[in-house]
A and B are shown apart, each in its own frame.
Chain A
Amino acid sequence: MVIDATNISKTYNPDTIPVKAVDGVTLQMQRGEFTSLVGPSGSGKTTLLNLIGGLDKSDTGKIIINGTDITTLKPNAMIDFRLHNIGFIFQSYNLVPVLTARENVEFIMLLQNVCKADRDKRVTNLLQQVGLGDKMDVRPSQLSGGQQQRVAVARALASKPQFILADEPTANLDSHSATNLLDIMAMLNKEENITFIFSTHDQRVIERARRVITLVDGKISSDTGIAKQQNA
């Protein structure tokens, strides 16, 4: 099991106007899942993603990732844990604007102290996998939104994470770019058994997901497709 979250809750502004973003959620995820977290705005999708990704601390419960309870990790240990275990894809791409596509992907491996030969090989492979073999030395400002998001996918994969959290990855993309990106992620999931967890409103993403978890008011209201995933 990659993720084992038990009874996790998160309340914002507990002292003023409390907002219960995640309310006693329990879920497990296996390696190789292609899962969407869906729900209306404010249902807690992004908060749940942040809690699983260790970007935010839960008020209650445990989140065990590959045997490590991340709710007990100190901030610096959590940063290090994220570096080696979790990949992120953000809605706004969030690439380092002063680095080229190659450098953006390589950056994560530099933080991991991967040797140069391995870095060069992996960067080339990843950018070719996402179809940007010819754009390696181009800065993000010279890439389209879809291309930037594909660099973000390559960057997320660069650290060889346990799973990738993608928060609304297609929200800023046109239809063609979104389909293209989904194709790439589906291919990586299928061929390399990489676990993807999306937070999304996008019907195209939901349709591609083999498991769909619906959140309403911070609680899981439905969780469909587990069997489909296990059989996949």
Chain B
Amino acid sequence: MSVIIKIAWRNIWRNSVRSLVIATSIVLGLWVGTFVSAIYYGMGEDRVNIAIQNEISHIQIHHPKFKEDYKDKYTVTVDDALKTKLHNTPNVKAWSPRSIAQGMLANTGGSTGIQINGIDPIAEDSTTHVAAKIIEGQYLSSGKANQVIIGAKLATRMKLKVKSKVVLTFLDKDDNIASGAFRVAGIFASNNSGWDNANVFIRQADFNPTLGLDSNAANEIAILLNSNRNIDTATALVKTEFPQYKVESWMEISPETNVIISLMSQVSIVFVIIILLALSFGIVNTMLMTVLERTREIGMLLALGMNRTKVFALIVYETFFLVMLGWPVGMLLAWFSIDYLGAKGIDTAAMAPKSTMASYGFSSVMHPALPLHNYLQIIALVIITALLSSIFPAIKALKLNPAETIKE
């Protein structure tokens, strides 16, 4: 077989210009295809990161009945035992207790439905970094009572500014209507305008008494881990620590976000498949030309006694080498550009307003990313493309009649 490989390798250099043109198209196709895949994948990953870092965190703990109808009476007790357990749980970076109620925000201009999140400002900031998203005014301070921070979109819609007064109305733990007057301390803008439009934050210290909850009660504990890896292990560990509560990972809390990332991953591979399919026609065409130019030579090989399996293998190897000329360069260029721009980011603000991306929960700065298994998938696809592209020319070669071709 080594002589077949030798002939195949040398054959691709017989018309070096043609081989290099095909190799270049493979380089460009793979580079662009892999890079665009990485943009799709990176967008999905960004969306997940935004959801985790800003909204839901990695893991949440609730009273088992809380999520059935969001009654505030179903609480988690934030006592020393809970604090110690969370402190001692490996991989936990930060956690934030929240008291949550669905309610109305009203001012002189009207009212709107919102989710009121009663938070410990310091714990929440270390978990969702909300202070960093303040674009006007300031974050909740522990000293001042009855302050609220609202999202930019809600502020625009309700014509609210910093220091505006609003009334928050909600049901307390016994389903009695309760309300309180709050002053807008700050306006925040995350990368998800839908989230900004539907959430307000007040101090848990102000909220719990009005809800009728103890000061150490919370409806939700949001936990941020050190990384997005090993979430299942961490979730299992927290579940073991708190068997009396419902513990869920972000994938269970927000399955739609999980769908986004798997969809983006699949779309990225489909994109590569489309590019490889287009490239395969060029490869097939080149290999067909190669076979048709060498009918006499292939006929001679058959005449001399080279069996059909070896002739088939010869064409397959030639196609494989032709493809292999291009793919390492294409993949390396893709890897370098993904690595560089993944760290630097691609600001799409010039192409689409920040608000447009934010309305879909995406950041306007894209960070292309592609995990190793996707690179391996692409390499496998390239090999499959090479093999499939070789079949038609190889069959064409096998059909040659040596008696006829040698005469040509």
Contacts and interface: CB of A to CB of B under 8 A. Distances in A.
B301 to A, nearest CB: 8
A106 B6 CA distance: 13
A79 interface: yes
Given A98-B11, A98-B14, A90 B406 contact: yes
A97 B298 CA distance: 12
B403 to A, nearest CB: 4
Nearest to B3: A110
A79 B403 contact: no
Contacts of B296: 92, 94
Contacts, number: 68
A82 to B, nearest CB: 5
A79 B302 CA distance: 7
A99 B303 CA distance: 17
Given A98-B14, A107-B3, A110-B3, A46 B407 contact: yes
A111 B310 contact: yes
Name the prevailing secondary structure of the B interface residues.
helix
A92 B407 CA distance: 9
B231 interface: no
Interface residues of A, number: 30
Interface in B1-31: 2-3, 6-7, 10-11, 14
Interface string A50-85: 100101100000000000000000011001101110
A214 interface: no
B305 A79 contact: yes
A212 interface: no
B297 A82 contact: no
A108 B303 CA distance: 11
A90 B306 CA distance: 16
Given A79-B305, A79-B306, A111-B306, A55 B11 contact: no
Contact of A88 (B14, B303, B401): B303
7 tightest A-B CB contacts, nearest first: A83-B305, A98-B10, A55-B403, A94-B300, A56-B403, A50-B403, A110-B3
Interface of A: 46, 50, 53, 55-56, 75-76, 79-80, 82-84, 88, 90, 92, 94, 96-99, 103, 106-108, 110-112, 155, 159, 167
Interface of B: 2-3, 6-7, 10-11, 14, 296-297, 300-308, 310, 401-403, 406-407
